Amino acid sequence: MKYILGLFLAMITATAFAQGQEKPLIQFSGVVHNADSTDVIVPYVSITNKSFHNQPNQSNYEGYFSFVAHERDTLVFTCVGYSSVTIVIPANLPGKSYTKQIKIKAQIINLPAFRVFPWATTDEFRTDFLTMKIADDDLEIARKNLNVTKILSEVHSMVRDGSEPINVQNIHNDQMNSHSTVNPLLNPFAWGALIKQINDGAKGN
pLDDT digits (tens, 9 = 90+) for 12-56: 544 433 444 578 899 999 999 999 887 899 999 999 999 999 999
Annotated domain spans of the chain: 23-104
User: Is the full-model pTM beyond 0.75?
Assistant: no
Task: Give the SS3 label for residue 163.
Answer: coil
Q: How far apart are CA 14 and CA 161, in angstroms?
A: 108
**Which is more confident, 138 or 52?**
52
Q: Dmax of the chain from CA atoms?
A: 176
Nearest to 61 by CA among 81, 82, 41: 41
Task: Count the neighbouring beta carbons within 10 Å of the beta carbon of residue 41.
Answer: 17
pLDDT band at 178 (very low <50, low <70, confident <90, very high): low
Superfamily of domain 23-104: Immunoglobulins (2.60.40.10)
Is the pLDDT score of 205 beyond 60? no
Q: Residues 64, 31: contact at Cβ < 8 Å? A: yes
> Rounded CA gap, 190 and 46, in Å?
106
pLDDT tens figures, 56-78 = 999 999 999 999 999 999 999 99
- Using CA atoms, how far residue 51 sits from 54, 71, 95, 151, in Å, is 7, 10, 21, 84
Among 72-76, 177-181, 201-205, which range has the highest average pLDDT? 72-76
DSSP 53-116: TTEEEE--TTSEEEEEEETT-EEEEE-TTB--EEEEPPSS-SSSEEEEEEEEPBP---PPP---
